[in-house]
Amino acid sequence: MDATAKTNGATSATRFDALAKVPPIAHPLAEEPSEIASNISYHVQYSPHFSLFKFDPEQAYCATADSVRDRLIKQWNDTYLQYHKVNPKQTYYLSMEYLQGRALTNAIGNLCIQGAYGDALKKLGHGLEEIVEQEKDAALGNGGLGRLASCFLDSMATLNLPAWGYGLRYKHGLFKQRITKAGQEEIAEDWLEKFSPWEVARHDIVFPIRFFGHVEVDPSGSRKWVGGEVIQAVAYDVPIPGYKTKNTISLRLWEAKASAEDLNLSQFNDGQYESATLLHSRAHQICAVLYPGDATESGKLLRLKQQFLLCSASLQDIIFRFKERNDGKGTLDWSTFPTKVAVQLNDTHPTLSIPELMRLLMDDEGLGWDEAWDITTRTIAYTNHTVLPEALEKWSQAVMWKLLPRHMEIIEEIDKRFIAMIQSKKPNLESKISAMCILDHNPQKPVVRMANLCVISSHTVNGVAQLHSDILKDELFIDYVSIWPTKFQNKTNGITPRRWLRFCNPELSDIITKWLKTDEWVTNLDLLANLRKFADDEQLHAQWESAKMASKQRLAQYILRVTGVRVDPNTLFDIQVKRIHEYKRQLLNVLGVVYRYKKLKEMKPEERKNTTARTVMLGGKAFATYTNAKRIIKLVTDVGDVVNSDPEVNSYLKVVFVPNYNVSVAEVLIPGSELSQHISTAGMEASGTSNMKFALNGCLIIGTLDGANVEIREEIGEQNFFLFGARADEVPRLRKERENGQFKPDPRFEEAKQFIRSGAFGSYDYNPLLDSLEGDSGYGRGDYFLVGQDFPSYIDAQAKVDEAYKDRKRWIKMSILSTAGSGKFSSDRTISQYAKEIWNIEKCSVA
């Protein structure tokens, strides 16, 4: 036996001995460390997930999670009973994605029992930090859309609002990213390989979900969707606790299952295993993976099945709860449904909620069209998250008719009535009908335009940053605005200050609390503005810099562990982490790095000493089928391999691609960041929320006037933001000039591209990627995202960063003012506005 095995054996034995000394007594609501330790010990013995003779970190994590969950379930039950008693209007938030992050840190933080659990685990031979690391992130989302939804749930609970989230229980998520010599490799997520201790399976909450089939019309003219295949949607609840409140709400996740009677036993016993279990296999596929490839018809059908499962199961559940709370009060009055229920669609993925609610009300509840339409349009609201054409979902009419024939009938009728309304009431818009209607009957590709269906059917449509909302009203949905001028609102996104400062950056949080003489900023982020009066205080500067260094050292250790690259915490930590997409312009970043490297190579050693040393980190996932995005990742890793191994330069520049970016990785990266890049082409990023997280943690931003960058710059002060690039209103003209051959590239831009083409970073053929920046027009050419246009001002802004960083006093003051100006960007503010201005719901607090 080697020394490591002996050490691990001794450690396991020591831990088991410590466990044996703590009596296993159930204390589900324990707050004292000794009682918490006993409750953990109780779960080791009586909720055993592993062998009794092991108490290693994984076992300790599961028992700890079970112990915390005891309290959450009590609060969850109390909250549910309060809702049942008061019967408030309740919001139901439908989202295809949630990026929750680790639940343990968040739960004990929101319940204010971190210290007690830390002490309890010490009694059991473990450290809290080590136990937290055992938890895998729930793989329920991909990017900003899912993280926003999770921040919103945290704020809903913290504000004691009657609201729930609905999503899908993806077993393998999007994918786990592995970085190899070939670039990005996708492997299945394994977060549910064993189990999640945070879920509560609700086997009594099961709803039938039908696919395919046909519509029958009875003699009275009423229509029923019959036949096809029927699977079951089973509920799994994840409790979401509020901060310093007794309210705990639910994220209800649906899983698709087939029933026992769907197993053809005679076929199975005859050896026809695949055909015997066909429906079981199809049901399993639905929640296997987030965003399965949709290049084939079967892929499109699977994505639509996912979306319909979310919509139908959630609406059946909502209607069941409405009946449960209102049925005993005489005849059920369906007209009161919108006074008790608000449904928010997070982007177009849950659009099928509109025809499904109509179907349930008409076909199952017997309402007429007019009453069902009135209820639906007063219940449903829609959040738009993008102006990118490819992200505004359009589904093939043929595929929709095949999978959801009754819903296509309803959509056709909505469209017909909308067109008739335009013709009778807005004849000036008749020429626009073909663009505004829901069904595009283009003979080459007839589609259903989901965003149009949402706008026509929702009582409110909102954008997620002021610039984005203005673009929706002035460009994308301008014709609808002339019909419904009050339908459109802005709700600038926000982030939860609990996870994104209080818990992930404890050193900085403690300093803020000390200088503000209160921790109330955690739920009233506007209080951060009071830091401004200390922005020049040398004592605060010293403490602020010390906190940042602690976070940078933690990040440097993490980078070494996951990439093997040793980075110097004394260099400027420059980070861009987000989904890899050409409009987010990671390519601009890496071209800037290539130019910086080339200039450093050309300098004399004495000249290099006068430069600002940088560590540039990028991270994010590229969709498996998005070739250029994957080429960008490959380029980053190739540049990093060359730069990091160059002894002349690697003291002044390092380049790192951080693999498998997720919430837990962000919680290490963001506190340690000093400069963050939010450099999308102006007008293309709806909002962004990582920019808010970085700014809140005292990180300075280099960015364009896009999305929420505009408002962040206003709040923190223009002098504390490194601005570059074309403005959104200039972009159409610049693209036209490019098409007309009027663009003159900057020599520095040409130099950077040529350096890559020279083979300086290996033999990989980057011409297809670089060709997207060449020419004036054509598919995949013409630099649609204006990388070349913005490159000179980007390089100039980076030079300003270098100069500012050398002036430590100025930089730290800018950092303090960044945090001080972030109060607006709390999701508590955003959700309060949704509650008041869209949902019309009020607090429902557990006493």
Distance, first Cα to last Cα, the chain: 58
Q: Alpha carbon 494 to chain centroid distance?
A: 12
Catalytic site residue 689?
yes
Catalytic site residue 491?
no
Measured distance CA(638)–CA(646) in Å, rounded: 13
Catalytic site residue 578?
yes
Measured distance CA(277)–CA(265) in Å, rounded: 9
**Catalytic-role residue among 693, 735, 738, 824:** 693
Total residues belonging to the chain: 847
**Catalytic-role residue among 123, 385, 498, 621:** 385
Catalytic site residue 459?
no
Q: Which two tokens stand for residue 267?
A: 């076929």
Q: Partners of 249 in the beta sheet?
A: 240
Q: Partners of 593 in the beta sheet?
A: none
Measured distance CA(202)–CA(237) in Å, rounded: 7
**Catalytic-role residue among 689, 704, 819, 830:** 689
Q: Which two tokens stand for residue 628?
A: 């250029």
**Catalytic-role residue among 147, 303, 578, 614:** 578
812 in Cβ contact with 542 (< 8 Å): no
Placement of tokens 């019967």 in the chain: 87
DSSP code of 135? P
**Catalytic-role residue among 406, 579, 748, 753:** 579
Is the sign of the CA dihedral 823, 825, 827, 830 positive or negative? positive
Measured distance CA(666)–CA(129) in Å, rounded: 16
Catalytic site residue 654?
no
Q: Which helix (H) or strand (E) holds 208?
A: strand 200-211
How are the residues of the chain apportioned to helix, strand and coil, as percentages rounded to the nearest 5? 55, 15, 35
Catalytic site residue 385?
yes
**Catalytic-role residue among 584, 585, 598, 713:** 584
Segment 716-721 long-range contacts (CB within 8 Å, at least 24 positions apart):
716/817, 716/818, 716/820, 716/821, 716/822, 717/817, 717/821, 719/814, 720/814, 720/817, 720/818, 720/821
354 in Cβ contact with 308 (< 8 Å): no
Closest CA to 329 of 314, 340, 318: 340
Tell me which amino acid residue 217 is.
Answer: V
| Residues designated as active site | 385, 578-579, 584, 689, 693
